[in-house]
Amino acid sequence: MAKKVILDVDTGVDDAVAVILALRSPELEVLGITTVTGNVDVEKATKNTLHVLELLNRTDVPVHPGARGPVTPGTWSVGERFHGAGGLGGVQVPEPSTRPRKEHAVDFIRRVVREEGPREVTLITTAPMTNAALSLLIEPDLAERLSAIVSMGGAFCTGRQGTGNSSPRSEFNVWFDPVAAKVVYNSGARVYAVGLDVTTRRDAAISRELYERLAESPDEVGRFVHAILGAYVDAVGYAPMHDPMAVASVILPDLLTFELLPVDVEICGELTRGETVADFRDFDAEVPRRRPNVHVAVDVDGPEFLRLLLDRVAGLELG
C-alpha cells in the first residue's frame, strides 16, 4: 500500500525535483503540498509548486500556503540568490491557471493527520520547518499521531560533508529558522534528518554528464529539470539533490542509513546560528546523556539514489 505523505516545500530548484519524484512514485500517495518562505517567499514558492503540478497534470493535488517567515526572531533574507530569480534557476514560468487552497498550511496538516488516523501520515519537509513547528506547537499530540517527520535539513558533522552551506556550521533550512528546527527535533515525533552529510555526497549528485543527458530526455518534465538545473551546474559544475533525497528515503527505506542520536540546535550563536549539534560521544554512567531524539542520516547508496531519481523524473536509465 502506498505511504501517505504531505510535502512541505519552499520551491526552489531541488524542491521542484522532489515534488516531481514524489508524484511519479507509486510507493507514495501525496495528500497535499504545503508551502513556506525559505528559498523564495511563500507566494513564489506556491506559484512554482502550482506550475510543477500543471506540468505533471496533477492539479488535483491541493496546495496550501503557510508561514510567511520564520518563528525565529531577527532579520532574515530568502535564499533566492542560490535558486535564481523566481526560485527555479532563473527559468521564468507562466502564471499558473490553478489557485492555491484557502486553508492555511498549518490547519491543513493538523486536519489531514487527524482525519487519516494515527501513524498514517508522514510529513516530509524540504524547507525551513516553520509550518511543522507551528503545527506541533498548536497541537503537541501531532507528534504521536504522525508516522514520522522526514526533514531535509541539518549538517551533523558525520564526515567532511557534514559541514554547513549557509555558514561553516549550518545548513540553510535549519539556519533560516533554527527555533522551528529545535521545536521539531524536541517534539517527541519520530524525526528523520536527511542533512548535508549525505545530500552533498558527490556520488549522489547530478554530474555535468548526467545534466547533459537530461537535455535529451524523451520526457518534457525531464527537459524542465534540465532547464532549472542549468544555472547551478554552470556555476558549480554539478548539482546536489538535497530535497529529492529526503523523498527517496521514504520511497526506498533502505537507501539511507540512520543513526539515532541526541541532537539539538544552536539558535543564537554568533558564528553558529542553526548548527545542528549531534552528540556522538560514547557514554558511561558518569556522564548524563540527553535522550536520543533524531534519526540522523549517516550514509546513502548514491548510485541507487541517482538510478531512482533519473528514472522517475526523466525516464532515463542509468547502467
165 binds ligand BDR (CB under 6 A): yes
Residues 190, 148 contacting (CB under 8 angstroms):
yes
Name the segment binding ligand BDR (CB under 6 A); options: 7-15, 59-67, 103-111, 276-284.
Answer: 7-15
CA dist 211 and 316 (Å) reads 11
The site for Ca ion, by CB under 5 A, has a size of 6
Closest CB to ligand BDR: residue number: 172
Q: Of 18 and 31, which has the nearer Cβ to Ca ion?
A: 18
Q: Which does residue 275 touch among ligand BDR, Ca ion, none (CB within 5 to 8 A, set by kind)?
A: none
Tally: H helices and E strands in the chain: 13, 12
Calpha distance 33→131 (Å, rounded): 12
Q: How far is the CB of 171 from Ca ion (least distance, A)?
A: 11
Which of 3, 5, 8, 14 is the binder for ligand BDR (CB under 6 A)?
14
Binding positions for Ca ion, 125-164, rule CB under 5 A: 126-127
Q: Does 12 bind ligand BDR (CB under 6 A)?
A: yes
Within 13 Å, how many C-alpha atoms sit on residue 28's CB side? 28
The gap from C-alpha 26 to its chain's centroid, in whole angstroms, comes to 19
The DSSP element (H or E) to which 90 belongs, if any, is none
Q: Can 64 be counted among the known catalytic residues? A: no
Question: Residue 264: helix, strand or coil by DSSP?
Answer: strand
Rounded Cα gap, residues 12 and 45, in angstroms? 7
- Cβ closest to Ca ion, residue 39 vs residue 261: 39
Q: What is the dihedral of CA 180, 20, 234, 94, to 10 degrees?
A: -90
Nearest to ligand BDR of 166, 207 (CB atom): 166
The pairing of beta strand 206-207 with beta strand 238-239: antiparallel
Q: Is 244 in the site for Ca ion (CB under 5 A)?
A: no
By the rule CB under 6 A, 126 interacts with ligand BDR? yes
Sequence-ordered strand ranges (E) for the chain: 3-9, 28-35, 63-65, 121-125, 148-152, 191-194, 206-207, 238-239, 256-261, 263-265, 276-278, 294-300
- Taking CB under 6 A as the rule, does residue 49 contact ligand BDR? no
Q: If contact means CB under 5 to 8 A according to the sort of partner, which of Ca ion, ligand BDR, none does residue 171 touch?
A: ligand BDR
Q: How far is the CB of 79 from Ca ion (least distance, A)?
A: 8
DSSP-assigned states of every residue in 126-168? -S-THHHHHHHHH-TTHHHHSSEEEEE-----SSGGGS-SSSS
Name the nearest CA neighbour of 265 among 183, 182, 192, 189.
182
Instruction: Rank residues 122 and 165 by Cβ distance to ligand BDR and give the closer one.
Output: 165
Stretch that binds ligand BDR, among 89-97, 171-179, 226-234, 290-298 (CB under 6 A): 171-179
C-alpha distance from residue 70 to each of 8, 176, 235 (Å): 14, 7, 29
The least CB distance from residue 11 to ligand BDR, in Å, is: 8
Query: Interface with ligand BDR by CB under 6 A: which range of 10-18, 58-66, 132-140, 308-316?
Result: 10-18
Binders in 225-284 for ligand BDR, by CB under 6 A: 242-243
Indicate whether 171 belongs to the interface with ligand BDR (CB under 6 A).
yes
Report the amino acid identity of residue 225. V
Q: Is 15 in the site for Ca ion (CB under 5 A)?
A: yes
Residues that are catalytic = 242
Q: Which residues bind ligand BDR (CB under 6 A)?
A: 12, 14-15, 39, 79, 82, 126, 152, 165, 171-173, 242-243
Q: Which residues bind Ca ion (CB under 5 A)?
A: 10, 12, 15, 126-127, 243
